[in-house]
Amino acid sequence: MNPLTVVFTLAGAVFMVIAIRIISLTSLGTWLFNQPWWIYFLLLGVIASGCMTIKERAYEKKKGEAPTFNFRWEPGLFRKKLIQVSSAYNNKKNKQNYN
């Protein structure tokens, strides 16, 4: 096992212990421990989803498959697209009226 992995695992475990202790001593802990059982699954799902998203993003970045977003400001682009869509809609509507 990589020593860096061991260090990060231990740091994560210590963080979890501290976080659980703080939550149990605050009003947040009181709220959390008085919830129905399905709330725990909901929170676990949200946390797991976030972890998987971070993991997949790192994997894609490492493989070079990460999506790159190159947005370019082009004045009037939305207007041009709107005109195209509305003219296509109007043509379709006119064809239906003639039939």
* Nearest Cα residue to 25 out of 17, 37, 36, 13: 17
18-27 contact pairs (CB < 8 A, 24+): none
- Sign of torsion over alpha carbons 56, 60, 61, 66: negative
**Contact present, 23 and 32 (Cβ < 8 Å):** yes
Decide: 60 and 66 in contact? Cβ < 8 Å.
yes
Do the Cβ atoms of 66 and 57 come closer than 8 Å?
yes
Check pLDDT > 70 for residue 71. no
Average pLDDT value over all residues in the chain: 77
pLDDT, position 64: 74
Q: Which residue has the higher pLDDT, 67 or 12?
A: 12
pLDDT in tens, 14-62: 888 888 877 777 776 677 777 787 878 888 888 899 888 888 888 877 7
For residue 97, pLDDT over 70 is answered with no
